Structure 1
Amino acid sequence: MEGVTFPVEQRVYSWLLTNFSRPINATFFPFKPPSEILRYSWLQETLGSSDGTHKLPLQEASVGLLALLVLQECINSPVSILPYVTLGAKKCKLHLYNTIVVNILKTIIGLALMTVMVPVMLPFLAFFWLASLAVKLTYAISFGPSVTKAEGVDSVWGLELEESRPFITVCMLVSGEPNLEKIRTHIKTKVLDLKDETGNCRFRKFWQVFSVKCGYYCWRDVDNLNLNEHVRLINLSPQHHEATTRDQDHLNPNEHVRLLNLNPLQHEPTTRDQRVNGNPNPVARNDVMDSVVRKVVSDEGGVELKSDRPPWEVLILARDDNRYNVVLRLHHAIGDGVAFMRLCVETLIDTSLPPPNVGPKPPGPFIRAAMMLWSMTVLPLGLIQVVANFDRNSLHGPHLSGRKIMTWSRSLPLSVLRQVKMATHTTVNDVLMSCLASALARHFTRRKETVKQVTSVVPLSFHDLTTPLALTNCFSVATVKLPVTPTLSPLARLVATKRLLDGVKRDPTLLAVYWVVKTVSGVLPASVASLLLTGHGLTLGASNVPGPQQDISIWGDGVEEMVFWVPNRAPVGAGMSFLSYKGQVKVGLNVDEALVTSREEAQQLVDDVECELYRMHNTLFLKSSTL
């Protein structure tokens, strides 16, 4: 999610404060009072305006939503039909529906399901726990300290299939000419040879192979790490350029001109070549070079690494414009996106950045224990919510090919996102996810598909940022039903998206799912652990990682831009990512070739995210939309 990630106890405490101190209308009226710029009714925008436009079918609204709308109208009406309930709700500042009704029902149903599940599951878990202890003993006797069993969530996200390689990928645009020896020396000094306070290798996973022994995932030390195999130089040859040009033969220039003219705040030419050379042509040389980089990154993104070497690599893409791209590929078993970003900004770059502010002091042990106990009672509902999804659309269903299209957007000004955020009392993440929903709506409209919602899996970090960096996976997953009804206005879609994401933030089942998956995956064999958190019925993954907002340099060269991609886990074949750096946000798309008709269609999906952001901004501040 957006902003700083919190430790587990702080997330629980934040949940508690959110539910018991939220004004009754905070979630459903996120905007400022109506003005000349923005004058509309949330009820009309959600359930249909008087003229029938922007209509969300009434049968799609839940009973709880309708009850809240009625209650809200009663509270705001001159004569309330529920004076005592209204007075008590305002006095205690209770969010009645979410705090009382839903959570009581969740607790009752969850306890009933736990009563049935625990007697059935405990014998199996006890058996696998004993088996895991036996495997650890076997490792110690047969291999000594050179082989260790993979623990926690690493076992879940380490699954590698031909259709989906579990690699987190970061691409940086760096100024200067690449010096391969200097880069290798920098990585060796800053990462590979770095020691902890006990004298051991701090990032041991970079020296280990992720494999399966005795039926369990494990980490095995390598005898010799050849850095030349992990840090490679790729010259962007004319063959790459010709291949990319052929891929772009079917590009519609009129569509791109429409997008380039969309930004009302843009007072300078779009491309870097235009700024430097005054070139009026929007398809400048650097844009073509970026297209070549897209092609190379896509090709390399589906490549399997050798099984006898640690699962990471750094690709240096030498360009012809006095810049080069650095592509870092990290196996998901080594760590998640937050750990990867911390590795980059705390260790890999030239000047380490200070640790982030992680928020208020966590609650006491009593509150933590009480919240943990309650979260366990609603665990079955959380597991059902993660696995019980039934999306059917062109982005989910076709058999994946394993060949990836990895592309990214132009830089989106963080200032524009913040203006929309402030005007609507939402968050940056709310705005980005709403733009993603709109882009998906346009994609399905072009495909002539009738899709009203898609399920996106969203990772929620449980890293404790006050502790030293550790390469591990420490997150839970939530599912969000994004509203992709094409008739929704930008602001109505934003309201609906915010409501959904607010519900995710307050969902106590996430804590239980995280702890159970972490515990259970550590005792299950590889073949069983790989079945946890399957992506059946999910359309895509979406992740938002905040990056550094100041200039950084790496091995002496300045970093101009950053973008990253989340890996796809079959049968999910699409992933959208957002990374902010230096006041700009880059949108990355990683999609299987089997799910789109061309690279242009994939790029259009990314461009539509940008298009919706400016459409939303225009609606709020220019009183009209340019589309």
Structure 2
Amino acid sequence: MRKPALEIDATRTAAAAEIKAGKEEEEEEPVSPTGRLFREPHFSCHIVSVFGLGGAVDLPAVRAGLEASLARHPRFCSLQVLDEQEEDPRPKWVRTTVNIDDHVIVPSLDPTATSADPDRALEDYVSSLSTLPMDHSRPLWELHVLDFPTSEATAAVVLRVHHSVGDGVSLLSLFIACTRRASDQSSLPALPSASAGRRRAGPVYALSSRPRLSPSWEALAAFAAWVVSFLVLLWHTVVDVACFASTATSVLGDPPTLFKGGEGVEFRPKRFMNRTLRLDDVKYVKNAVNCTINDVLLGVTSAALSRYYFRKTGESGSETIKVRSTLLVNLRKTPGLHTLATMMESGKDNGAQWGNRLGYMILPFHIAKHSDPLMYVRKATQVARRKKSSMESVFTFWSGSVILKFFGIKAAASLCCGMMRNTTLSFSNVAGPTEQVVFYGHPIVYIAPSVYGHPHALTMHYQSYANIIKLVLAVDETQFPDAHELLDDFDQSLRIIREAASEKQKDT
């Protein structure tokens, strides 16, 4: 079992903590509570993202681009510093000089391995990063350059960032702010609007149509609808918070299944693998079932886990098994791409909030056999709609801050780890650019993000980009030695659900 990564706290007197030459010392900013949580040895999380490129890597262009953009971002040119002279020392962000050569890594790989099975060589290298600690005496990010062709791309770069620097959505947005449209390299890329993929506008409980009434009755009906929605929201929040508290304190836990990680899983190496799915197939199912893209992906996940589970266990499937996933919710509005681009150009915050402001949500998945494949999507839609009518993530963020303030980081970390150890999976779905973009002149073919360092043996990420969706699995290889079969199950599940949706459309 791998030991916890050694955390190195730089001090003000360290040479690496020099303030940039020619600039005035800027006000130090404390590391956010969630960022401090990600520093804990039992919860030291890292984000690792693979970007497939459509051309060979021009290393001087990449270095020059990073120096002019990413390396100027306040978090990417700062250290986490502890002032030992304080009575209660807490980490703060302090600017330092960035040596770009410390952060751009070009590994020496066996050319025989990269030519014999390049996809495996890429997967092996990215997976090996989960065994290597980061150097906390310099800014906590690295860009690994893998300049050899694979089945999907001509080359790849891998961005590894400590999770205390920012949440996944913020970091992805920051990276995208370093790119430009392939069709117009003077313009920033376009991201999906906040309403993209939604089934309808308005609250969950709003009526889609109703007979016209007099103004007084209209006002009364609107008030009654608001009261009902508020009471339902309150009740769902109370139930979800009680469930969350019971899970975090080990009163309530998922049953042991082949998906659930064991003791010390957060310290074991992870294997990262991905599969490309067609966004058009997901949209087709979405339109056929009248739901959202996220609902379809939740349904595909439930179907894939069910296929894998019943094949491996040989059970009949007469009973439904519920496993729960932890879903991180970004509660801070991520700065727009133009704001991020300006932030990197100026090297200043520009008033934009940055970092981690995350709430937690527990999302159930049903392991079952359904004769109708679309039933997986319908049940996922019900679960998603139920979770949308709850303030669970807001309350968990607030309660975490209160616990941190009054009981300290150890108590907050203990509750957070308890919540994850008593659930089974991690799940996320992030929307990326809607068109192809270029990274310092290099066309991006795909984006495949993931995370490691948390106590789950299986983590699933969906990342849309242009007309594809990348499914990325991070698995404990000792628990999932046949993880590529699980990856195939996701591919097959989407195909079967897509065919069922096509048959449904023919019958209507």
- Do they superpose with TM above 0.5? yes
Distance 1:231 1:610 in 2: 34
- Which of the numbers 167, 170, 181 marks the counterpart of 2:60? 181
- Which of the numbers 62, 80, 99 marks the counterpart of 1:226? 99
- Contact 2:191 2:432 survives alignment (8 Å): no
- Contact 1:222 1:309 survives alignment (8 Å): no
Corresponding residue for residue 408 of structure 1: 274
Length, aligned pairs only: 419
Distance 1:462 1:608 in 2: 32
- Which of the numbers 443, 448, 454 marks the counterpart of 2:313? 448
Alignment pair present for 1:604 and 2:485: yes
Corresponding residue for residue 47 of structure 2: 168
Letter in 2 for 1:315: H
Shift of 1:382: 5.7
Distance 1:427 1:175 in 2: 31
Q: 557-566 or 417-426: which moved more?
A: 557-566
Alignment pair present for 1:587 and 2:471: yes
Distance 2:292 2:466 in 1: 18
- Which of the numbers 533, 542, 557 marks the counterpart of 2:442? 557
Alignment pair present for 1:395 and 2:245: no
What TM-score comes out, normalization by structure 1 length? 0.60
Q: Give a deviation string over 1:540-590, Cα, whole Å, max 9, x none.
A: 1000000001110011111111111133512x2220000000110010001
**Residues 1:595 and 1:182: Cα distance change in structure 2 (over 3 Å):** same
Alignment pair present for 1:312 and 2:141: yes
Corresponding residue for residue 384 of structure 1: 245
Corresponding residue for residue 463 of structure 1: 332
- Contact 1:541 1:575 survives alignment (8 Å): yes
Alignment pair present for 1:492 and 2:378: no
- Aligned partner of residue 531 in structure 1, secondary structure: helix
- Aligned partner of residue 361 in structure 2, secondary structure: strand
Letter in 2 for 1:442: R
Alignment pair present for 1:333 and 2:175: no
- Aligned partner of residue 553 in structure 1, secondary structure: strand
- Which of the numbers 282, 301, 308 marks the counterpart of 1:436? 301
- Aligned partner of residue 577 in structure 1, secondary structure: strand
Counting only pairs closer than 5 Å after superposition, residues 18-417 of structure 1 correspond to structure 2 as 148-161=29-42, 165-193=44-72, 202-209=73-80, 217-221=90-94, 223-238=96-111, 240-241=113-114, 288-320=117-149, 323-349=154-180, 351-353=187-189, 357-358=193-194, 380-381=241-242, 383-384=244-245, 387=248, 388-399=252-263, 400=265, 402-409=268-275, 411-417=276-282
**Residues 1:449 and 1:207: Cα distance change in structure 2 (over 3 Å):** farther
Gaps in structure 2 of 5+ consecutive residues? 1-18, 20-24, 196-200, 204-225, 341-352
What TM-score comes out, normalization by structure 2 length? 0.73
Distance 1:160 1:179 in 2: 37
Distance 2:234 2:475 in 1: 38
Name the structure with the higher helix share: 1
Shift of 1:192: 2.1
Corresponding residue for residue 544 of structure 1: 429
Q: Provide the aligned C-alpha RMSD in A.
A: 3.4
- Contact 1:211 1:217 survives alignment (8 Å): yes
Letter in 1 for 2:271: I
Corresponding residue for residue 44 of structure 1: none
Letter in 2 for 1:454: V
- Contact 1:568 1:590 survives alignment (8 Å): no
- Percent sequence identity is 20
Give the number of the structure whose alpha-carbon radius of gyration is greater: 1
Distance 1:560 1:217 in 2: 41
- Contact 2:271 2:474 survives alignment (8 Å): yes
**Residues 1:145 and 1:326: Cα distance change in structure 2 (over 3 Å):** same
Distance 2:31 2:407 in 1: 11
Letter in 2 for 1:191: L
- Contact 1:191 1:347 survives alignment (8 Å): yes
Distance 1:478 1:449 in 2: 31
